[in-house]
Structure 1
Amino acid sequence: MTKEPEAREAAALPLRERKKRAMRQRISDVATGLFLADGFDDVTVADVARAAEVSVMTVFNYFPRKEDLFLDRTPQAIELFTGAVRLRGPNESPLGALRHLALELIDQRHPLSAVDDDFPAFWRIVIASPALRARAREAVEEVEDALARALAETDSGSADPAFAAALIVAAYRSAYVTTARRLLAGEAAEALVDDHRTRVCATFDALEAALR
Structure 2
Amino acid sequence: MTTQQGLRARKKQQTREQISDRATELFLERGFDKVTIADVAAAADVAKMTVTNYFPRKEDLALDLGEVFVEQLAAVVRDRAPGQSALAALRADYLAAVAAQSQMIGFSGEPFARMITDSPALVARLREFHDERQLALARVLGEVTGAAPDDITPRVAAAQLVGVQRVLFEEILRRTLDGQSGDEIASAMAEYARIAFDALEPGLGGYAVR
TM-score by length of 1: 0.83
1:202 aligns with 2:195: yes
Distance 1:171-1:44 versus aligned 2 partners, 3 A rule: same
Q: What is residue 182 of structure 1 aligned with on the other side? A: 175
Distance 1:170-1:16 versus aligned 2 partners, 3 A rule: farther
Q: What is residue 59 of structure 1 aligned with on the other side? A: 51
Q: What is residue 87 of structure 1 aligned with on the other side? A: 79
CA distance in structure 2 between the aligned counterparts of 1:165 and 1:40, rounded to whole angstroms? 31
Q: What is residue 128 of structure 2 aligned with on the other side? A: 138
CA distance in structure 1 between the aligned counterparts of 2:47 and 2:158, rounded to whole angstroms? 38
Q: Once superposed, which parts of structure 1, at least 4 consecutive aligned residues long, lie more than 6 Å away?
A: none
In the alignment, structure 2 segments of 5+ residues that lack a partner are 1-5, 206-210
1:115–1:190: 8 Å Cα contact kept in structure 2? no
In the alignment, structure 1 segments of 5+ residues that lack a partner are 1-13
Q: Report the number of matched residues.
A: 197
Q: Could you tell me which amino acid in structure 2 is paired with residue 66 of structure 1?
A: K
Q: Which of 70, 89, 95 lines up with 1:78 in the alignment?
A: 70
Shift of 1:60: 1.4
- SS of the counterpart of 2:103? coil
Q: Could you tell me which amino acid in structure 1 is paired with residue 23 of structure 2?
A: A
2:20–2:62: 8 Å Cα contact kept in structure 1? yes
Q: Which of 160, 168, 181 lines up with 2:161 in the alignment?
A: 168
1:192 aligns with 2:185: yes
Aligned counterparts, 1:87-166, within 5 A: 87-115=79-107, 118=109, 120-155=110-145, 160-166=153-159
Shift of 1:205: 1.6
Distance 1:114-1:79 versus aligned 2 partners, 3 A rule: same
CA distance in structure 1 between the aligned counterparts of 2:82 and 2:10, rounded to whole angstroms? 30
Which deviates more, 185-194 or 20-29? 20-29
Q: What is residue 10 of structure 1 aligned with on the other side? A: none
Q: Could you tell me which amino acid in structure 2 is paired with residue 160 of structure 1?
A: T
- SS of the counterpart of 1:166? helix
Shift of 1:15: 6.0
Shift of 1:145: 0.9
1:114–1:176: 8 Å Cα contact kept in structure 2? yes
CA distance in structure 2 between the aligned counterparts of 1:17 and 1:26, rounded to whole angstroms? 14
Deviations along 1:92-141, one digit per CA (max 9) or x if unpaired, are 2111221122122222221123345x2x2112122221211211111111
Shift of 1:17: 4.5
CA distance in structure 2 between the aligned counterparts of 1:156 and 1:174, rounded to whole angstroms? 29
Shift of 1:85: 1.1
- SS of the counterpart of 1:54? coil
- SS of the counterpart of 2:180? coil
Deviations along 1:176-198, one digit per CA (max 9) or x if unpaired, are 21232122112222122122111
Cα root mean square deviation, aligned: 2.1
Distance 1:78-1:175 versus aligned 2 partners, 3 A rule: same
Q: Which of the pair has the greater relative contact order for Cα pairs under 8 Å at 6+ separation?
A: 2
Q: What is residue 40 of structure 1 aligned with on the other side? A: 32
